[in-house]
Each structure stands twice: as structure tokens, then as C-alpha cells.
A and B are shown apart, each in its own frame.
Chain A
Amino acid sequence: MADLEKFRTEAHQWLFDNSPSSVRGLTLALGEGNWGGRKATYANPDMKHWLEVMAERGWTAPEWPIHYGGGGLSKAEAKILREEMARLKLPESLSGFGLTMIGPTLLEYGTEEQKREHLPKIVRGEIRWCQGYSEPGSGSDLASLQTRAVLQGDYYIINGQKVWTSYANLSDWMFLLVRTDPQAKKQEGITFILMDMSTPGVEVRPIKLISGSSPFCETFLTDVTVPAKNVVFKVNHGWTVAKALLNHERTMIAAAFGSGVGRRRTIRDWARDYVDFVGERVADAALRQRMVQYEMDNLAFKLTTDRARDAAKAGRLPGPESSMFKIYGTELNQRRQELLLSIAGPQALGWEGSGFEERELSLTRDWLRSRGNTIEGGTSEVQLNIIAKRVLGLPD
């Protein structure tokens, strides 16, 4: 315990000495932070500097081993580091799929060569990663994917199409699932492979959504040549890797929605600007009831994520319950967006141009975008199947 308190003091001092004062207290919306990569742009030069000092120390990936560029911290130390960063109001120095998804996956399944090649670049924010899973014909039924990889000598030749690849246009590498054995049962002929996006034959087109422009892309792969040594884990065993990674994704999505931590304006703040109050109470009893029901459900959900975290700390493993957090967290976000529409009324109908405030225009777009929350990362229906079968043990 004394060591941990010593670490806290040192970490606090180091963070204080090395963080540019301009980034302290900087609030960044989802997607506005440092995502790294060759095409990176920075909110301001100090954010770039902040990434560099943190990467130098390995604290962009505090729990990864030092020899892969990480911080080599224990779970307890990493928690203290996060707490001290929060105390100094410091933003994340680096985000993205490299840190949250492919990095942990390589640590578990990668070869030594793959770890040495990729992990240090992720830590330093040099390479940005995207995920090539979904295909036009393979949404919820991901294992039916058709993108083919055929071995020729030391290389795979890949042909096919990926869809819903977030930020493919800004990413340098993609981790993707390809079919290497079309004769095998569908889950058994899939391989997990790493691909440089600058390889000839890779073409990326952004997708426009009902909410307007989006980070999603279609990625077309035509005779793309990828070294066979880029296969992660075993050929035809990519589904094992994919499932482990999907758990990371679900937990990430659940954390991003629902709990409402760090949200700048509560639904009550919004209500203050748009609806009548009688004293301290929202005058419209039906609207008030919806608001209170949402707030109470949100609180119960937050307590449940706290409980899962406490159970994990007490040594119990997180399991398929992540599906529950995915369903409930995304549905809460949709309820919140719809509630905000009801609160803002006709001012929530703006698309662009005059007569609408910037925040009102975001409200409209955010509401439309939120309809996708219960689809992406595995639909709610697929998550309910997972709970029914893997948690409740109901028969197939």
C-alpha cells in the first residue's frame, strides 16, 4: 500500500510537470481527441506535445509491458494513474482501436514478431487502426462473411468488400476477417489477418447516414497482397480471435453510452431552456414522469456497471454479461435522445442554416445517429440471443 501511495505522489508530480497547462480542463467530445496515425490532425499543438510526452513514458498504454513500449504498470497503478489524470483534469493522450482492440488482442494471440512490429507504433500513436468485420451480406450473421483470401507462396491474395469500417479513410492498418477455407463450417474457415491500408487494391469510400456525414466507410479489396506472416493466431481459427475482440468492443460501446459520465448538460438543464417549470418542477407531469423514469433507469444501470467492476476487482471474470451492458446502455442513449427531442420540441427539427442554434442542430443529428446504437457492434437481438443461451442456458 505504501508503494502505491508513493506511486501516486510521483505520478501526480510527473503529470503536473509534463502536461501542457493548456490541455488541463480541456473537454473533448467523442472523436475529438488524439487518434494518432499518419493522417493525424490535432485540436492544438499542445495536444500533440501531450501525446508525445505520454507516449515517451509508455503511459498511453499504461498496462502494456515495457518492452513493447507500454508503461508496465500493474492494474492498481494504472487505476491510480487514471485517478490522478482525472484530478488534474487531463484529457486522454491517445484513443482508438489500436489501444482498445487490436493491441489487447495481439498481446493475447499475436506472435512475438507481430507484437514487436505493431505494439510500439500503437503506443506512440504512429499507426491508426480500423476494423474490417462486417460485409454487405454479413451483418448480424458475421460468420457468413465472403471476403476471400487465397494463399500464393508467402502471401494471401484478398478479394472482397468490407462495410461499416469506422474511420477507414483516416486509418493506416486494418485488422480483418477473411475466408480461407470455403469448404469448412462457416465459423471454422475464417482467418484474422493484419493489412496495410496503403497496399495496392485497397479503395475506401465514406458512407453518408440518415444523420449526414459519418466516420463509416466501405472498403473494396481487389487482389490485395498481404504477407502470410500477418495472420494472427492460427489459419482458420480467426473466429476465436474475433469473439475475444467483440467482447472488448461491446464493453467499449457500453462505456461510451448510458452512464452519462462527463456529460456537460443533463436533461434537466435542457428542460430549463425549453419547457415550463412550476417552482422547481417540470410543469408537464407526463414529460416529468418520462424524465424521472429515464434518470432512475440510468442510475440503476450505472450502479450495475459499478457492480460489475467491483466484482471484477474481487476476482470474478467478466463474461457474456457485457451483452447486457451493450443492450441497456445503447437503449438508454436512444431514450435520452428521444427525450431531448420532446424537450426541445420544434427546435429539434433543424437540419442546417438559420433559426437553429448549433446545439439544436447537433440534437437532431445525434438523435438520428443514435438509432444505429442498437445495431452496431452486434444488434440488441443478437445480444439477447447471447444472454438467453450463454447466461441463462436456454436450449438452441
Chain B
Amino acid sequence: MQLVLTEDQELLAKTAADFARAYAPVSRVRALRDAQEPVGFSRTLWKQMADLGWVGILIPEAYGGAGMGLADLAVVLEALGRTLAPEPFLSTVLLGGQVLTSAGSEAQKQAWLPGIIAGEKILTIAYQEIRSRYDLNRLTTTAERQGEGWLLSGKKIQVLDGYTADALIVSARTAGAANDADGITLFLVPQDTPGLKVTRQQRVDNRAVALVSLNGVKVGTEGLIGSLNGGLQVLSHVVDRATVGLCAEMLGGMSQIFDDTLAYLKTRQQFGVLIGTFQALQHRAARLFMEIELARSSVMAAARAADEGNPDFTSLVSLAKARCSDTFILAANEGIQMHGGIGMTDEHDVGFYLKRARAAEMTFGDAAWHRDRWARLHQY
């Protein structure tokens, strides 16, 4: 495993950074929030990102994608994470697109992947429920047999881009007892299906999440994804990979707020001197620098492990997510403290990073959950 960017990746990182600065600054995230419109991201920008080839990075060439790896996508996500861009990479590329790529039927792939790559179709997964916390197997949504198909009933929460998605991939129990690993199945449910109700939720980080209720939603055999009762394996693997993408976004967020804080230490004066001359602040900044460096190494290792089929992949995902969760929050907390009063105002951007840090922490498992998973994987 080489923990260094290739020349192509460096070029991609630069392109993405230039793009983010020019078209997707944090001021845009603020405007999206203030506008209170339900989509929550820019369809025009999403289309542009698709035209740049970023949306299809992970999708095989056979369907029009680039067939590249997570390590490549990670540099794009990091750059966009720096400006908190809310475009639907997580939902459409890392979750929905990856479920279909890894487990979808040929017909499902043909129907969805080209549209995703073109930036025209939004796809997401509805997996989380009010009591599931971070365990993908803890769900109460059911799918009962009805003739050739199924009837889905249940409630999902905080479905990423659920409001705009053209279809939702729903995890439901088709066999077994509560919390069983076996007996979970994935279904593709188009947005306009009768019995499906999608309500936009307002979250602290303003990402476009939705409450989804399924009241006897009818799904035919063409909606079954992968094998009956074998959905958890697909879901777990896709969520692990998506976690690496989320970590890359978090790495961008923590790096940016750290840079902003450093810049403030170099310009803000108190007691007649720059506050960056104070050793109390210098040492805290130096410690934060080290933590971010360790986070970066962990994310790079996890992404490369995914691409190389390394057996330590799952363990490295937990290492990266635990570390990114802790460090993003630390960077945002320290950012507010070192900015002082101005950091507490809504007018300043630092608060947006703190809010995103917490929301990202609680997506796909927080630090404690991942440390515990790491412990079990290593027989602790």
C-alpha cells in the first residue's frame, strides 16, 4: 500500500479544489439554508460535477463510468468537504449507485447507472430507523409476500436526499427474528409508488434528509435487489465503502476549519499583539495539526485497502471513522474557541463546520461504535 497521491490524483485534487472555490464556496451553503427550499443542493452544480466525470468515478466502464477507485473519489470528496458542498455523492454515488453496482440485476444497472453518471438521476438508501442507531440489522420495516411480489411497511428516518430521490432502496425484514443478520432484503422503490410518503426533515447541518413511511408499498420481482434474505451483506459492504467517502469529506472539513483558524490566529490582535504569538494557542494548534495528520493517514489507508481488496479493510474503515469523528469535532470546537465571540455568531462560517462535524459523526457509526467494532475485530 502506497500512502501517497499519484500524479493523476494530485491533478484531480487540484481540479476539484479550484472548482469548489469557484462554484461551491461556503457562502452558497449558507444561501441554500436561508432559502429553505427542499432540494437542499444545486442540480445545476450536480450536472457540472457529472460532466467533469466525478459522479461516475466508481461505476464500471461498461455502464459509462470511469471504473476508478475510492482513493480517486476520495480526493474529490475531500475538496468538496472543504466547502461543505451538499451535493448528493453520499446518497447517489456511494450508497444507491454502489448497491446497484455490486448487487443489482443487469436490467437494474442498465436502467439506473447511466442516468446516475449523467447527473440526472438521484438514488438513495432508506436503511436507518428510529431505534437502529448504527446497526444495519436493527430494523422493524417488513416486506410480506403478496403473490409474485412484496408489501413493504415501516418507517425510515434521515434518508439522505430522500425528498429528491427518483427511487429509494429500502432495507426490510423478509425472514428471521428482530436483529437477525439473515432475513434482510433490499428493494428498489420508485418515488411515485403508492403508499410511499416522503417528508423533508430539518437537520442541524441542513443536509436534505427525509422521513420515509411505507404503508403497504407494493414491489414486484423487478424491484428485488440481490438475493432474498441476503441484503445485509450487500448493505454492510456498501456502507463500509461509503464510510471511507464520508471520512474523506470530513477530512476536507477539518482541514479547512483548521486553515481558517490558523489564518485568524495570524490576523487577530489582542493586547496589542497577534493572538498567534500566544504559546497557549500555538501548542493547541500544533496538537490539532498532528491529529489531522493522523486522520489523513487513516483515511488514505482505508481508501487504498478498499481498492486493493486488503483483508484489513473493515478494520481500517473503523480506524478512519473513529479518528475522523473525533478530530473533525475537535477541529470545529477548537475553531470556535480560538475565534472567540465571533465564532459563536451565525454570521461566521465556523458554526457550519461544527454542525456538519456532528452530523457526519453520527452517520455510519460514531467514534465509540467504531472503536468497539475495531475491538471486536481484533479480539479485544
Contact = CB atoms under 8 A, between A and B. Distances in A.
B185 to A, nearest CB: 31
Interface string A74-115: 000000000000000000000000000000000000000000
B290 A324 contact: yes
B283 A381 contact: yes
Interface string A318-334: 00010010011000000
A151 interface: no
B323 A395 contact: no
Contacts of B285: 388, 392, 394
B24 to A, nearest CB: 26
Given A292-B374, A304-B294, A391-B289, A396 B266 contact: no
Question: Which of A300, A306, A328, A395 has the largest number of chain B CB atoms within 10 A?
Answer: A300
B109 to A, nearest CB: 35
Given A310-B3, A395-B277, A281 B293 contact: no
A289 B374 CA distance: 11
Contact of A384 (B276, B277, B283, B375): B283
Contacts of B282: 384-385, 388-389, 392, 394
Contact of B286 (A303, A313, A387): A387
A327 B293 CA distance: 13
B274 interface: yes
B378 A295 contact: yes
Per DSSP, chain B at the interface is: helix
Nearest to A305: B297
Given A303-B298, A307-B3, A307-B297, A296 B286 contact: no
A292 B276 contact: no
Interface in B287-302: 287, 289-290, 293-298, 300-301
B322 interface: yes
A303 B279 contact: no
Main secondary structure of the interface of A (DSSP, over half): helix
A311 interface: yes
B289 A282 contact: no
A204 B297 CA distance: 45
Contact of B297 (A291, A295, A304): A304
A384 to B, nearest CB: 4
A124 B287 CA distance: 42
A43 interface: no
Contact of B371 (A289, A301, A304, A324): A289
Nearest to A386: B286
Contact of A395 (B2, B276, B287, B372): B276
Size class of the B contact interface (CB-based, 8 Å): 35 or more
A299 interface: yes
Contacts of B287: 384
Contacts of B1: 306
B4 A300 contact: no
B271 interface: no
B270 interface: no
Interface-central residue, A313, A385, A388, by most chain B CB under 10 Å: A388
A268 interface: yes
A391 B289 CA distance: 9
Contacts of A296: 319, 322-323, 371, 374
Given A296-B322, A310-B2, A304 B289 contact: no
A385 to B, nearest CB: 7
B283 A303 contact: no
B297 A396 contact: no
Interface string A249-288: 0000000000000000000100000000000111000001
B374 A327 contact: no
Contacts of A310: 2-4
A343 B294 CA distance: 27
A303 to B, nearest CB: 4
Across chains A and B, which 7 residue pairs bring their CB atoms closest together, nearest first?
Answer: A388-B282, A307-B3, A303-B297, A387-B286, A304-B297, A300-B294, A384-B286
17 contacts: A281-B380, A282-B380, A295-B378, A296-B322, A303-B300, A306-B297, A321-B293, A381-B283, A388-B283, A388-B285, A392-B289, A393-B266, A394-B276, A394-B281, A394-B282, A395-B274, A395-B277
Given A300-B298, A304-B294, 5 more contacts: A303-B3, A303-B300, A307-B297, A387-B289, A395-B277
Interface of B: 1-4, 262, 265-266, 274, 276-277, 279, 281-283, 285-287, 289-290, 293-298, 300-301, 319, 322-323, 371-372, 374-376, 378-380
